Amino acid sequence: MKLLVVNPNTTASMTAKIGAAARSVAASGTEIVAVHPERGPVSIEGYYDEVFAVPGLLEEIAKGQTAGCQGSIIACFDDTGLDAARALAQGPVVGICEAAMHMSTLLGGSFSVVTTLKRSVPAIEALTRRYGMSHYCRRVRAAEVPVLALEDPASQASARIRAEIAAAIAEDHAECIILGCAGMADLARRLTAEYRLPVIDGVAAAVKLIEGVLSLGLATSKIGGYAAPLPKPYRGDFARYQPQTLVPSDGATP
């Protein structure tokens, strides 16, 4: 089994961390290919960044298909470009927010999300409603940590994340904690041991879920909203993204 893990931002060190987290939980027969786009924002912190991350994300999904990847994971907690990726991809596509929330409901009756900045809270709250998770979600908390601070060992990121986890347990009475950024992927195991409750990393959760989907021989339904995009011209700078350009080079229809 060959899985593509796409970090939609362009920071190589974060991609390496995400890839390591994915490989640490992957089954022995699973190959993890971790990539990031060549163009786009260095971090995704809000709706504006998210929009400019999607074209590069879709390019990586298309290249992964051509390289034989059977499923794809979007390693941004906003589940950036998830619907477009599912329309493009032949195999299943899983977003790490969706994966983490579903995994949490198997382990406890409630969860709180600890994310990076306040500007990310509305997007995550919207995802809880979209995924039918509002009943389980106690609160989305922001540690006020810029995404790139997670790459800096000298920052106070870890302490701020821990403070929000402690508050989520004491004030929200959350039974599980979800780490609301792929850049936190390396923290989950030690925080689970430290706080003695499930601390869920969406990257790891997505790997196990997509392995399960593929082992069942399943893929995204193509008879409705996730049908392959219709071939048509795209004008100007977006010509490279028109559907017949992005589909795999063998001409297969997603």
Q: How confident is the model at residue 247 (pLDDT cuts 50, 70, 90)?
A: low
What's the angle, vertex CA 73, arms to CA 69 and CA 78, rounded to 5? 155
Task: Tell me what pLDDT residue 250 has.
Answer: 41
pLDDT by residue (tens digit) across 74-90?
A: 999 999 999 999 999 99
Q: Which tokens hold the place of 209?
A: 């879920």
pLDDT at 190 over 70: yes
Mean pLDDT (whole number) for 109-116: 97
Mean pLDDT (whole number) for 219-223: 95
pTM: 0.93
pLDDT at 249 over 80: no
Tell me if 103 sits within 8 A of 200, measured CB to CB.
Answer: yes
pLDDT at 200 over 70: yes
Task: Tell me what pLDDT residue 209 has.
Answer: 98
d(CA 74, CA 35): 10
pLDDT at 11 over 80: yes
Tell me if 114 sits within 8 A of 178, measured CB to CB.
Answer: yes
Give bridge partners of residue 74 from the DSSP assignment. Answer: 6, 95
Length of the chain (residues): 254
Task: Tell me what pLDDT residue 68 has.
Answer: 97
- Tell me the domains of the chain and their CATH numbers: 2-95+206-246 (3.40.50.12500), 97-202 (3.40.50.12500)
pLDDT at 248 over 90: no
pLDDT by residue (tens digit) across 113-157?
A: 999 999 999 999 999 999 999 999 999 999 998 898 988 888 889
Collapsing DSSP to helix, strand or coil, 99 comes out as helix
Q: Which tokens hold the place of 72?
A: 């794809």
Q: Which tokens hold the place of 228?
A: 């392959």
Q: Which tokens hold the place of 103?
A: 């995994």
